[in-house]
Amino acid sequence: MTDVHATYFELPPVGPPIFRRLWATGLLFAEDLDELAAQPWKRENVRLHSQIQCGSDLCFIASGFAFRCRVTAESERHLMSLAIPGDICTYTCVTGRSAYAVPEAGSRCSVLRLDANHAAALFEGNPRLRCAVLANLASDNVVVEELLTSVGRRNAMQRIAHLLCELEFRYRRLNLTKGNQFTLKLTQVQMGMYLALSAVHVNRVIQELRRLKLIELRGRALTIPDVQALRRMANFSSDYLEDYLNENEPRLKAV
């Protein structure tokens, strides 16, 4: 299992931490973050279970979390992926393709929105920012593939342990952990829907992980006493979450 570069979890030199994941791609310079932060962003609050209608706007989850859901013709909801703070809701702003999976608030959340015209001008004038967003898109696609692997190949304990390892990594990337502790905002029903398990089965696995002292759960505060032990049990590698630029690849130069 490889580890990320030491700089991967560093805060950006300028701008709000919400852009930390874009900075972690290794594609951006400080002036790019300045330009991004200077855009006319609008903050919106979203109620639980409400859809986030992004259209072609650039929308970041600022707090809470959302599921990207596919809704069938029979109105059945399928949870395809999970967006937490720092994640982009949809990528229509750079692909021009409408999203099939619609973001839906899994908790009360807030969104930072940049309207489509400003986003288009931003990406046209700054190809590095466009490439960083596309790097996030590529990583998010692999997260969906990893979820499919969990549902198809991993047993219930491995699925849940793998998800908890993934969340620990993603929250730590945004500096939203305290040591090995983070707030588990997903309910057991939501975890079951996401991992194709019943809520009862999720509860049993959570209790077993607690009995094995692999996790501690007090309210919504989840602590992983030994992250490496839980990773070994889940056969978890963070490689698929790491969307930084390979140091052997060329980087776009500052203009």
pLDDT of res. 205: 98
Per-residue pLDDT of the chain (255 residues; tens, 9 = 90+): 334 444 566 778 877 889 999 998 989 999 999 999 999 999 999 999 999 999 999 999 999 999 999 988 788 888 999 999 999 999 999 999 998 899 999 999 999 999 999 999 999 999 999 999 999 999 999 999 999 999 999 999 999 999 999 999 999 988 899 999 999 999 999 999 999 999 999 999 999 999 999 999 999 999 999 999 999 999 999 999 987 655 544 444 443
Closest CA to 119 of 186, 46, 40: 40
Phi then psi for residue 170, to 5 deg, are: -70, -40
State whether residue 75 is helix, strand or coil: coil
pLDDT of res. 223: 98
Q: Residue 236 corresponds to which tokens in the numbers above?
A: 């978890």
Q: How many other C-beta atoms lie within 10 A of the C-beta of residue 185?
A: 18
Is residue 110 within 8 A of residue 60, CB to CB? The reply is: no
- Rounded Cα distance, 184 and 163, in Å: 11
- Vertex 8: Cα angle to 31 and 29 (nearest 5): 10
- Residues across the chain: 255
Closest CA to 88 of 25, 165, 26: 25
The secondary element (H helix, E strand) that includes residue 233 is helix 227-234
pLDDT of res. 255: 39
pLDDT of res. 11: 72
Is residue 182 within 8 A of residue 216, CB to CB? The reply is: no
pLDDT of res. 17: 86
pLDDT of res. 76: 83
Is residue 206 within 8 A of residue 224, CB to CB? The reply is: no
Closest CA to 184 of 208, 215, 220: 220
The secondary element (H helix, E strand) that includes residue 188 is helix 188-195
pLDDT of res. 250: 47
Is residue 68 within 8 A of residue 124, CB to CB? The reply is: no
